[in-house]
Chain A
Amino acid sequence: MTEDQLRELIGRVKRGSLTRRGFVRRLAAFGFTAPMATQLLAISGAAPAAAQAVPPYRPTRRGGGGALKILYWQAATLLNPHFAVGTTNQEAARVFYEPLAGWTSEGTLFPILAAEIPSIENGGLSPDGRSVTWKLKRNVRWHDGTPFSADDVIFNWEYSRHPAVGATTSGSYRDVNVVKVDDFTVRVEFERPTPFWADAFVASTGMIIPKHQFQNFVGAHARDAPANLRPVGTGPYRFVSFAPGDLLRGEINPHYHRENRPFFDTIEVKGGGDAVSAARAVLQTGDFDYAWNLQVEDEILQRLEAAGRGRVNIVEGGNVEFVQLNATDPNIEVDGERSHISTQHPAFRDPAVREAMALLIDRAALERFIYGRGGPATSNFLNNPPRFRSPNTRWEFNIARANEILDRAGWVRGRDGVRVKDGVRLRFVFQTSVNAPRQRTQAIYKQAAMRAGIDLELKSIAASVFFSSDVANPDTFTKFYADMQMYTTTMPQADPQRFMNQFVSWEIASRANSWQGRNVVRWRNAEYDAAYRAAESELDPIKRAALFIRMNDLIVGSHHVIPLVRRPLVSASLNNLRPVLSAWDNTHWLLADWYRET
């Protein structure tokens, strides 16, 4: 199906001569999945954006729901969203603070403090992609009674981008300009046409803190603000008490701006302990209502679920566990730097070796025996939202074919069974972080590779070292002083732009950027770079999706990156709790809509 045909079909849906269902069915005939088809409609303005994405809210009055008890096996340590290092702190802050809009599980926007989601139709988006105008709700008050207005929104921009504040959200704010149009309208302006405009003031980095509480603490003394630990927000629950690293308590906000919400009278977020016992406390003993991010073997979860008290929630997101084959040589030192971009990996520069490596990992076994529901096998690096998922890739586990490819490419087995060519032996150091499923994956990979004449030397590094930004440490994943490595990369937004910059040539990690570059595998491809540049300013959503799909096909097709399994969000809740979850936003993104069925 060509782009023109697609456009014509969408046009017919808009005019009303084709039903939405008919559109989906027609696209299915061309191999498009149903979610992808509906999303095509949504982004081209032919479907109500977030209407279906949020489940219906049944309670008919505010409060009366008793206590909501949530268990995190990591504990929140601070409550200022602009200082949040990691999701746990964002979640804790999200109980009290709200952004202008949040991301639903389908990757569409849902207005929270905004009166409506900006679009070209309602005049919120400028056709040239250089600005977005947000209209704010008018009836919103902070917990202390002060009215919420555009000044608060402007203040968050100033606060976050101030270098002395040291905000972790500054990446979303430093390159934009924010203008107050009137008391309830703000305009975010971009230097260049920006198709992905929903970053500042949206979702986890977009939580708005009150100007009147923080205005005297902009600068190096930002951490002295009393409101850092006693938040005053706009959210459904008001602050009661907080013990860092342990317990957060809140009570119902009787003046919340969305009607009949929230359902619960009090909220309690307890932190600490481990994931397995957190799952137990919900699924087996029912002491808590909800347990977050259960990175627990699926077998255990199924056994606990059998108690019948609670269930496991699986929410699809973009996180993916994948293997990287180093494009550079980790064993040669150039200017005091290993894995230098001027070098080439002696074995992986041969496409045959990379292709063989991709054939040697049994994803079906990973899914069945290790990850279960928490890790469906995938052949794509970019998996979600569905509109960006490539239909062009396949995965296969085939040792015989790997052997055949290597034989044909001239890699012959030596006396010890390891293949050699021109003095290069297929013996690779394969590193990852210490984590039981990863070590089991390494073992499965090693066994299969052995049968194809490839010897993998397994190495596992403590997570706090592997994922640190410590320049002095040789074992960090960004230094990549190994032939292969494996980890999960997270996709915190429903837009793949930030996610796909992991393979552009200007992001290559090197000494010059203190190994902070995002292209860790050090792969370079002119077509990929060009596609990425084009996607950065492509305003047509369909063309842009096609560009990202092309990028995915390029990197996966190079076999320098071997996607293994998707990592959806796994959590547990009691049978009668109705949480509203999304993988594109925090767990607490729509806490006001949580309720208990009676």
Chain B
Amino acid sequence: MKLLRTLMAAATALAVTAFAAPSFAADDPGPAAYAKSLNGKRVMLVPLAMGFDLAQGWAHYLKKEVEAWGGTFETRDPNWVVDAGAQAITDAIASDTRPDVLIIHAPDLNSYSKLMKKAQAAGTYVLLVDNPANFPADAFVGSDWDKLGQLEAEAAIKGCGENSSKKIGLVQGDQANSSSLYQYAGIMKVLEKHPDFQVVAKPDSNWDATTSRNVTTTMLQQHPDICSIIDFWDGDATGASAAIRDAKLDGKVFLVTTGGGEKAADCDKLEDGTYGAVVMTDLARQSGDMNAIIKFLLQSGQPAGTSHTYIYTLEKATTKADLKPDSCWDLKALQAEAAAK
């Protein structure tokens, strides 16, 4: 009897709380403050180019979010030309509709530093995405390229196995882009811990698939017993894979690369065995991180350039064995979705 009474009392208390809750919500100051600081704010993305999967993915997810909270989202397309990017940023800062947040995909460590400083001085928060630069931005969102290189090296070592030649070839990007330089540093860190593994060649592809194919062909002829190749970007790794295919070494050379986790670029190629492992960026989550820090900055009231946050995206080396239906995002599907609107 006593137990029953206690239970009933508890139930009554619960019911009271439940009914009382809406009245609390009505007084929640959150939504009003949120709308006040975010409504009508402008966000601009200046990637290296709009023509590749990462930029198109970011733009898709950011646009959805920014427009949902009442902001305006714009992109600029420098089409891989550094000067055009600089021009776009300069114009944006000087225009009447100066963006409140500028998201910049830096081509190298230094090119845009002065412009980003100008933007902050004008009151625009600057976010760096994907490629780090020598500049204290309000936030950096992207890969820790050193860590990413370590993951690649670990995947390559695992792909080679203990009873292999333990020879690894690298196809670097170039000698100016931070993503290439830090990736290399990360790879070498892991290989130092595995002195039995050696890098037999490390040519540059200049991010070009034909060059990647040519240098990989030469590399495989010089060292036919290479057990793994790490190509620094899935955008040109198609070249390295063509060289492996031509040398009839499919299945013998474990090709590791990195990319934005787009279905056709990464998952399909893991599935068909072209790539052995891909260190993929979770693009939706990365875009979500950007959106969260944008919301924080716009509500913080702090002047641009006050704080410097690093938000590294969780990276993981994915192989065919751990492919799941949601391992990748599908650019075609996003484009179809955008076209349907």
A and B form one complex: no
